[in-house]
Amino acid sequence: MAGGATSGGNAVTDTYKEARNWLLLPAWVTLGILVLAPVLLMLVYSFLTKEFRGGVIWEFSLAAYDQFFFDRGLFGDDPAKIEWTYIAIFWRSIWQAGAATILSLVIGFPTAYFIATRPEKQRVIWVFLITIPYWVNLLIRTVSMRFLLRDEGPLNSFLMTTGLVDAPIHMINTNFAVQVGLFYSYLPFMVLPIYAAVERYNFTLSEAAADLYANKWITLRHILLPAVKPGVVAGCILVFVPSLGSFLAPDLLGGAKNFMIGSLIEEQFKGNAGNWPFGAAASMILLTMVLIILVIYARAQARSDKEAG
Amino acid sequence: MSLEQPNAIEVRNAVKRYGDFTALKTISLSIKDNEFFTLLGPSGCGKTTLLRMIAGFEDVTEGAIFLYGEEIEGLPPHKRPVNTVFQNYALFPHKTVLDNVAFGLQMRGNSKADARKRAGEMLELVQLSQFAGRKPSQLSGGQQQRVALARALAPQPKVLLLDEPLSALDLKLRKAMQLELKHLQRETGITFIFVTHDQEEALTMSDRIAVMSSGELQQLGDARDIYERPCNMFVADFIGETNLLDVSVDRIESGQAICHLGGGHALTCPSVEEVSAGSKVHLSVRPERLFLTATPDAGNALKASVRENIFVGTDITTLVDLAGGPEIIIRTSNSERGNQRIFDPGTPVYVNMEHGAARLLVD
């Protein structure tokens, strides 16, 4: 009986598996063309030799990575020293993206909480309002932001007419402006996942905590936050990762001094001055960093789940 | 009053309004120390609202609530020494069973070690020690319910509020939990306020019951009072099964009302204050207080014929038609004595009432 059942089961399983493979094919093709192929292309290009007017010579070379990490002098024959320029740009990018993430979280969490606790009919309207700016192209919004923040822009005129400041505050081409740009661009990516998590949250749990003598702060910290953590993490990743690689906000609002990775990479592929292998190498390093961060997070999550379970 | 132990809870003219809607219409009641008190009523009667007002989740629109003599309006829930067992338990999903139970103790300032030790003792009390390290989602409904109970009892509240805590359990488990709750209340000596829409549950467990309907208190008394001496149509109908008959009062003689109902049947029963000669009132009589005989017994005997006998295990339910009058339900216990009172359908019989079983109700 066991044998018959097993062989019958296998036949069914095989058919099922075959069908499943065919059904998964479109997804694999899409992923292959849109994700794997470009990344592989980038990986290959990063190991090629640069051509001086852009483009590449098909010859294996580690020059791009070498240029990123080491300084060998003007003619390339000095003893290798660590090259800090690009590492500093990476560091600034991480710092900027991290700050933008924290800022978005601080503003986005209360916003999401506010929306999720409105009556059901109002929530749709609030979510709709949050997404309205996305109907306008990011480039246009960033340029408008540049206009807003200018020395003679509306924000400074307002501050001066109200008498809050005597001279315009210089905001454009500063880290502050980049922060504002990143924060404004990616805030909805923080708000929406947190909103979804808070909306699913069972508020009776907060009542239970209050009933058991927990004040508002402890209820938020120990009951609400653990319950909506997946939404918070999703929001942070969705803000941090694109902020790290963004180039519109740093380019248009940060100016030359506040270079970020995204701009560095963009430069390498622009016009004749570029260095494709170097741009590809920088992209690969950025990608590796993001992957490391995600893996660390996934590990930590698995560990805490294990401890909890 | 001042020399006695103050009431555990005293609700004084409490009103609750949500905009134009009045959920509670001027309720006053007092709940004694160490009492198992039940708020009973159909859904939407305001019983849960009243419970949530005591817990502090809803504010009191008018009136006041006192906890052991002290007014508690204005105190947020986390400062009221009362705990709640929620309808769907509301256990913290990311905390272990032990940490769920220890939560309230920790919040009251006990050290983590001490809170856990006492939480362990509470789990022992509800016989769940072996599940201390599990997550609530790994427990059955009945076990979750006991964790919720242990969690609410652990900080030794002055009053424990229970919001339909048994409604999600199956019948057998519910019956077992009813007794367990009753015993826990005796053991801990904590005042329990229990909200339910299940009248049987209320009758089984409560020292006293407040029957509520559409935001009003209908009757307050112990199980016997409520069941045997319902004060109005709603209570008589809501609690248990009853025969409600329309009767007209002919005259009143020394506290007894002599009345008649459709079909010319006459009967005599204890009168109540509001009734006078000529008034049209209702008569409520419980099915188990009626019995059938072949010849008229002494006192009230109404001529009828048996329509149907329905066997329900412990009892036999008999439907009879009064001659020219309404249908009446009679319940006879399935015992040797009871079985002698069962007649085949179609048999002409007399419906007799036990002494004092009939009760007159005014609209």
3-state DSSP assignment of residue A169:
coil
Residues of chain B with C-beta less than 8 angstroms from the C-beta of A213: 78-79, 104, 107-108, 155
Across the interface, do A213 and B151 touch by the CB < 8 Å criterion? no
Tell me how far the alpha carbon of residue A86 is from its chain's centroid: 20
Taking the Cβ of residue A29 and every Cβ of chain B, the question of whether any pair is shorter than 8 Å is answered with no
For range B8-12, the mean pLDDT: 94
Q: What is the pLDDT of residues B163-180, one digit of tens each?
A: 999 988 888 888 888 998
pLDDT higher than 80, residue A12: no
State whether B304 and B348 are in the same domain: yes
- Backbone angle region of B68, left / alpha / beta, with phi > 0 → left and psi within -120 to 50 → alpha: left
Q: Which residue of A has its CA nearest to B92?
A: A205
Task: Report d(CA A111, CA A127) in Å as an integer.
Answer: 10
Specify burial of residue B72 (Cβ count, 10 A radius: 0-12, 13-18, 19+): buried
DSSP category for residue A80: P
For range A187-206, the mean pLDDT: 95
Q: What angle do CA B333, B336, B338 make, to 5 degrees?
A: 35
Give the model's pLDDT for residue B29: 93
Domain end: B211, B234, B257, which one? B234
Q: Which of B84, B105, B107, B161 to mutate to test the interface with A (most CBs of A within 10 A)?
A: B107
Domain ranges of chain A: 2-71, 86-268
Q: What angle do CA A27, A28, A31 make, to 5 degrees?
A: 85
Residues in CB range of A299: below 8 A, 6 or more apart: none
Residue B36 contacts residue B206 (beta carbons within 8 Å): yes
Rounded to the nearest integer, the mean pLDDT of chain B is 90
3-state DSSP assignment of residue A70:
strand
Number of domains in chain B: 2
Across the interface, do A208 and B55 touch by the CB < 8 Å criterion? no
- Our CA-based measurement puts residue A67 at a distance from the nearest CA of chain B, in whole angstroms, of 49
Give the confidence band of A4 by pLDDT, cuts at 50, 70, 90. Answer: very low
Phi, psi of A276, rounded to the nearest 5 degrees: -60, -50
Beta-carbon contacts below 8 Å between A and B: 59
Pairing outcome for strands B256-261 and B243-253: antiparallel
Give the model's pLDDT for residue B300: 80
Q: What is the pLDDT of residues B224-265, one digit of tens each?
A: 999 988 988 999 989 988 999 888 898 888 888 888 887 778
Q: What is the pLDDT of residues B86-112, one digit of tens each?
A: 999 999 999 999 999 999 999 999 999
Residue B154 in any domain: the answer is yes
Pairing outcome for strands B82-85 and B159-163: parallel
Q: What is the pLDDT of residues A239-272, one digit of tens each?
A: 999 999 888 888 888 877 778 888 889 888 887 7
3-state DSSP assignment of residue A51:
coil
Give the confidence band of A309 by pLDDT, cuts at 50, 70, 90. Answer: very low
Residues of chain A with C-beta less than 8 angstroms from the C-beta of B107: 212-214, 218
Task: Report d(CA A264, CA A258) in Å as an integer.
Answer: 11
State whether B43 and B184 are in the same domain: yes
3-state DSSP assignment of residue A84:
helix
pLDDT higher than 70, residue A81: yes
From the list B352, B268, B324, the residue with the least C-alpha distance to B259 is: B268
pLDDT higher than 50, residue B273: yes
Q: What angle do CA B91, B89, A201 make, to 5 degrees?
A: 60
Give the confidence band of B123 by pLDDT, cuts at 50, 70, 90. Answer: very high
Residue B2 in any domain: the answer is no
Amino acid in the structure at residue B67:
L
Give the model's pLDDT for residue B287: 92
Residue B144 contacts residue B97 (beta carbons within 8 Å): no
State whether B221 and B271 are in the same domain: no
| Length in residues, chain A | 309
Residue B1 in any domain: the answer is no
Task: Report d(CA B354, CA B293) in Å as an integer.
Answer: 12
From the list A215, A112, A285, the residue with the least C-alpha distance to B108 is: A215
Give the confidence band of A2 by pLDDT, cuts at 50, 70, 90. Answer: very low
For range A122-146, the mean pLDDT: 91
Across the interface, do A211 and B103 touch by the CB < 8 Å criterion? no
Domain end: B204, B234, B264, which one? B234
For range B112-131, the mean pLDDT: 93
pLDDT higher than 90, residue A298: no
3-state DSSP assignment of residue A71:
strand
Residue B85 in any domain: the answer is yes
Q: What is the pLDDT of residues B314-353, one digit of tens each?
A: 899 999 998 877 899 999 998 887 777 888 898 899 998 8
Residue B72 in any domain: the answer is yes
Higher pLDDT, residue B22 or A76: B22
Higher pLDDT, residue A284 or A72: A284
Give the model's pLDDT for residue B299: 74
Q: What is the pLDDT of residues B22-69, one digit of tens each?
A: 999 999 999 999 999 999 999 889 999 999 999 999 999 999 999 999
Give the model's pLDDT for residue A5: 44
3-state DSSP assignment of residue A55:
coil
State whether B69 and B87 are in the same domain: yes
Give the model's pLDDT for residue A307: 58
The residues with which A126 forms a beta bridge, in sequence order, are none
| DSSP collapsed to 3 states, chain B | CCCCCCCCEEEEEEEEEECCEEEEEEEEEEECCCCEEEEECCCCCCHHHHHHHHHCCCCCCEEEEEECCEECCCCCHHHCCEEEECCCCCCCCCCCHHHHHHHHHHHCCCCHHHHHHHHHHHHHHCCCHHHCCCCHHHCCHHHHHHHHHHHHHCCCCCEEEEECCCCCCCHHHHHHHHHHHHHHHHHHCCEEEEEECCHHHHHHHCCEEEEEECCEEEEEECHHHHHHCCCCHHHHHHCCCCEEEEEEEEEEECCEEEEEECCCEEEEEECCCCCCCCCEEEEEECHHHEEEECCCCCCCEEEEEEEEEEECCCEEEEEEEECCCCEEEEEEECCHHHHCCCCCCCCEEEEEECCCCCEEECC
State whether B160 and B176 are in the same domain: yes
Task: Report d(CA B61, CA B77) in Å as an integer.
Answer: 16
Q: Which of A206, A212, A222 to mutate to test the interface with B (most CBs of B within 10 A)?
A: A212
Highest mean pLDDT (candidates A44-53, A72-81, B143-152, B299-308): B143-152
Give the model's pLDDT for residue B3: 52
Higher pLDDT, residue A165 or B311: B311
Give the model's pLDDT for residue A306: 66
Give the model's pLDDT for residue B156: 92
Phi, psi of A114, rounded to the nearest 5 degrees: -60, -50
- Our CA-based measurement puts residue A129 at a distance from the nearest CA of chain B, in whole angstroms, of 28
State whether B164 and B249 are in the same domain: no
Selecting from B83, B107, B152 the residue whose C-beta is nearest the C-beta of A218 gives B107
Taking the Cβ of residue A209 and every Cβ of chain B, the question of whether any pair is shorter than 8 Å is answered with yes
Instruction: Give the rounded percent of residues in chain A with a pLDDT score beyond 70.
Output: 94
Residues of chain A with C-beta less than 8 angstroms from the C-beta of B103: 209, 212, 214
State whether B169 and B278 are in the same domain: no
Give the model's pLDDT for residue A308: 54
State whether B144 and B164 are in the same domain: yes
CATH class of A86-268: mainly alpha
Distances (CA, A) of B191 to B44, B82, B220: 24, 10, 17
Phi, psi of B342, rounded to the nearest 5 degrees: -95, 130
Give the confidence band of A7 by pLDDT, cuts at 50, 70, 90. Answer: very low
Find where tokens 């030359």 sit: A256
Give the model's pLDDT for residue B296: 82
State whether B252 and B316 are in the same domain: yes
Give the confidence band of A212 by pLDDT, cuts at 50, 70, 90. Answer: very high
Give the model's pLDDT for residue A42: 93
Across the interface, do B84 and A211 touch by the CB < 8 Å criterion? yes
Residues in CB range of A229: below 8 A, 6 or more apart: A197
Residue A284 contacts residue A71 (beta carbons within 8 Å): no
Instruction: Give the rounded percent of residues in chain B with a pLDDT score beyond 90.
Output: 60
State whether B175 and B308 are in the same domain: no
Task: Report d(CA A139, CA B228) in Å as an integer.
Answer: 79
Taking the Cβ of residue A208 and every Cβ of chain B, the question of whether any pair is shorter than 8 Å is answered with yes
| Domain of B342, in residue numbers | 241-361
Give the model's pLDDT for residue B337: 79
Query: A175-200 vs A84-116: helix axis angle to the nearest 10?
Result: 40
Pairing outcome for strands B70-71 and B62-67: antiparallel
Q: What is the pLDDT of residues B77-87, one digit of tens each?
A: 999 999 999 99
Residues of chain B with C-beta less than 8 angstroms from the C-beta of A208: 84, 86, 90-92
State whether B229 and B246 are in the same domain: no
Domain end: B209, B234, B259, which one? B234
Instruction: Give the rounded percent of residues in chain B with a pLDDT score beyond 70.
Output: 99
ipTM: 0.83
CATH number of the CATH domain containing B113: 3.40.50.300
State whether B228 and B308 are in the same domain: no
| Length in residues, chain B | 363
Entry pTM: 0.80
3-state DSSP assignment of residue A95:
helix
3-state DSSP assignment of residue A260:
coil
Rounded to the nearest integer, the mean pLDDT of chain A is 87
pLDDT higher than 80, residue A13: no
Q: What is the pLDDT of residues A225-234, one digit of tens each?
A: 999 998 999 9
